[in-house]
């Protein structure tokens, strides 16, 4: 029976490619989360400005 295992060099190259893709995915996720938090914090600062002034004061 023939063994169908991958060689060590092929396995290492596949793990390297998966690691690079995972690294860029992690960087993209961190940047997106940072943008989300930044926009959320800034929207709370301008939240009172989005309503007209109170006429009954």
Model pTM greater than 0.85?
A: no
Task: Report how many domains make up the chain.
Answer: 1
Mapped to the 3 state alphabet, what secondary structure does 1-57 carry? CCCCCCCHHHHHHHHHHHHHHHHHHHHHHHHHHHHHHHHHHHHHHCCHHHCCCCCCC
Q: Please state the φ and ψ torsions of residue 54, each to the nearest 5 degrees.
A: -75, 125
Q: What is the pLDDT of residues 7-54, one digit of tens each?
A: 889 999 999 999 999 999 999 999 999 999 999 888 777 666 667 777
| Residues spanned by the domain of 37 | 11-47
Residue 1 lies in a domain: no
Residue 18 lies in a domain: yes
Residue 35 lies in a domain: yes
């Amino acid at each position: 029976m023939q063994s169908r295992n991958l060689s060590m060099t092929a396995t290492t190259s596949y793990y390297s490619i998966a690691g690079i893709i995972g690294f860029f995915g992690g960087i993209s996720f961190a940047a997106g989360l940072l943008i989300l938090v930044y926009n959320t914090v800034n929207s709370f600062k301008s939240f009172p400005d989005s309503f007209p002034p109170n006429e009954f004061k």
